[in-house]
Amino acid sequence: MYPVIYDFGNINIFGFEFNPVINSYGFMLMMAFYSCYYFLNKDLKRLGYDSNLSGDIVFAAAVGGILGSKIYYLIENFDRVIADPTGMIFSGAGLVFLGGLMGGTLGVTFVINKNNLSWITFADIVAPLLILGYAIGRIGCLLVGDDYGLPTHLPWGIEFPNGLPPSTYSIFQTYYPWVNLDNFEPGVLSVHPTPIYETIIGGLIFYYLYQKRTSVTIVGSLFFTYLILAGTERFIVEFLRVNEKYFIGLSGAQVISILMITIGAWFLMHPVKQPVDSKSES
**282 lies in a domain?**
no
Nearest residue to 112 (alpha-carbon basis) of 250, 282, 281, 280? 280
Encode pLDDT of 37-49 as tens digits: 999 999 999 999 9
pLDDT bracket for residue 88 (50, 70, 90): low
Mapping DSSP to helix (H, G, I), strand (E, B) and coil, where does residue 159 land?
strand
Q: Number of folded domains in the chain?
A: 1
Nearest residue to 108 (alpha-carbon basis) of 95, 93, 120? 120
**173 lies in a domain?**
yes
**40 lies in a domain?**
yes
**245 lies in a domain?**
yes
271 Rama sector, left if φ>0, alpha if ψ -120 to 50, beta otherwise: beta
**2 lies in a domain?**
no
Say if residue 57 is exposed, middle or buried (CB neighbours under 10 Å; 0-12, 13-18, 19+). Answer: buried
Amino acid at 29: L
Q: How far apart are CA 251 and CA 267, in angstroms?
A: 25
Lowest mean pLDDT among 64-68, 95-99, 180-184, 191-195: 95-99
**97 lies in a domain?**
yes
**8 lies in a domain?**
no
Give this prediction's pTM.
0.86
Q: How far apart are CA 249 and CA 245, in angstroms?
A: 5
pLDDT at residue 77 greater than cutoff 80: no
Domain that holds residue 39: 22-268
pLDDT bracket for residue 94 (50, 70, 90): low
Alpha-carbon dihedral 43, 46, 51, 55, rounded to 10 degrees: 0
pLDDT at residue 281 greater than cutoff 90: no
pLDDT bracket for residue 279 (50, 70, 90): low
Residues 204-220: b if buried by 16+ CB within 10 A, e if exposed: ebbeebbeebeebeebb
Q: HSE of 219 in the Cβ direction (CA atoms, 13 Å)? A: 12
**14 lies in a domain?**
no
